[in-house]
Amino acid sequence: MNELNLTYHSPDKIRKLRDNGVCIPDLSSVCIGHEIQLEQIRPDCVIHPFSRITGAETQIHEGAQIGLSGAATLHNSCIGENVIVGNLGPVTLKNTVVGPGAVLGCGVAEEAVILGKESKINDFTAGYGFRIRKGSLYEEDASSAQHTDTKMTVLFPWTTLGSNINFCDALLAGGSGAELGMFSEVGSGTIHFNYSIRGDKATASLLGDVSSGVFLDQERLFIGGNNSLLGPLKADFGTMTAAGARINGTLSAGLHFGHSMPKGRVDYDQRIFSGALAIVSKQLDVLAELTTLFHWYQQIRINCVAQTPEQKFIYQAGLRTVELNFHERLFQLNRYVEALEDSLRLSSGSKQLNKKEIADQKQILAQWPELLNQLQSPTSFEVNAPEALTKSIAQQVAENNTEYTQIIKELDPEAKQKGKVWLNSISGSVRQIFYTEFNKE
């Protein structure tokens, strides 16, 4: 036996798939790993030439098309119903879950979750040259155009990224529909700068929030093209920025023109941190919202909305991705706080920090061990969802309303209001431990 026969199912085995209803136009150009049980590849899907499919966890569901316009490589990935993989060229998917109806153009996804499409207003999920990296979560109808890169990024339903964008370590919510002018949007050429001059990544940005954003009834955010977003950024619903802007800080609703850099130079030691209290506070805000999203997935998506094993599987994958983001943010915040010790030591012979900044950093270091202990897991902040919310969802499910976005949009006003109060209580409890510890005498 040659190496190929030891690694992949034989053409005779693959022929059995075709006999069972899987469309494989060219048996000789398709490789399927021995570790895959053939029943994991469902009838009525299409596997085009030059597809290589490996990994014991790989699943391909009905109606999916693999490698439509170029070679496809799948490893330990789940492909939902009617998904198109590679409608613009080659695609590689590793440890990725792709929900029903998603359309992936040409690119790479690794350790990511895409919940799928529920609307037909736009005809793609990710365009040409996408890279969807570890910890990326695209919720229903979220999309990215040409040459986009995400990592540890959460995109709420309908949100979209334009072309030539790097948007890592951020959460984007907002908007109330899939139609033009209704969804949150990041313009082409925009970069979220998520790595500081100090060498830290306590830089995650929050555009909108979870507690209100999950109800799909908030004003959209619009980030203009060619923006430089300097994390950590916090933006309210209704925030807009002009094209070509340099944006940082905290943004309220309205149009922001950003600011330019002053000319000249200053003496600067990158090892001495400044603005520590604001940075820690903003990262706690991100942790609070990710904790809230974790419980939304657990109690609402999985326990109330999911009606099939396939839907529950996809939501569970989303839950794991939210938790992955939580632990990444906590890890990066812990690295930042640990570096404050050197910052304080070096600042003793420098005039770079004022007395208040030094006092803030000392207090953060003193309180951090207890804070870190309380922040170990989002499960520590569980609060049961209100009955009004779960009943409203159950009523819609009973009426055969199966699309997630439609269920949420049609919640009755009382259910929404009580849901928002519930989620705010979770995010508030995360924030409160910071303010409680920091204000101890």
Per-residue pLDDT of 396-415, as tens digits, reads 999 988 899 999 999 999 99
Per CATH, which fold does 3-256 belong to?
Answer: UDP N-Acetylglucosamine Acyltransferase; domain 1 (2.160.10)
What are the structural domain ranges in the chain? 3-256, 281-438
Whose structure tokens read 């790479």?
A: 108
Q: What is the pLDDT of residue 352?
A: 81
Neighbours of 213 (CB within 10 A): 28
Q: For residue 123, with 0-12 CB atoms within 10 Å meaning exposed, 13-18 middle and 19 or more buried, which class applies?
A: exposed
> 314: pLDDT confidence band, cut at 50, 70 and 90?
very high
Report yes or no: 225 and 190 within 8 Å, Cβ to Cβ: yes
| Mean pLDDT, rounded, for 129-137 | 98
CA separation, residue 424 to residues 289, 338, 405, 417, 418 (Å): 9, 30, 21, 11, 10
Asked whether the predicted pLDDT for residue 43 surpasses 90, the reply is yes
Is the bond preceding residue 232 a cis peptide, omega within 30 degrees?
Answer: yes
pLDDT digits (tens, 9 = 90+) for 5-21: 458 999 899 999 999 99
Which token pair is 408?
């949420």
Asked whether the predicted pLDDT for residue 437 surpasses 80, the reply is no
Q: What is the pLDDT of residue 351?
A: 77
pLDDT digits (tens, 9 = 90+) for 320-345: 999 999 999 999 999 999 999 999 99
| Best CA proximity match to 46, nearest among 85, 99, 92 | 85
Which pairing describes strands 103-110 and 84-85: parallel, antiparallel, or unpaired? parallel
Q: What is the pLDDT of residue 394?
A: 96
Asked whether the predicted pLDDT for residue 249 surpasses 60, the reply is yes
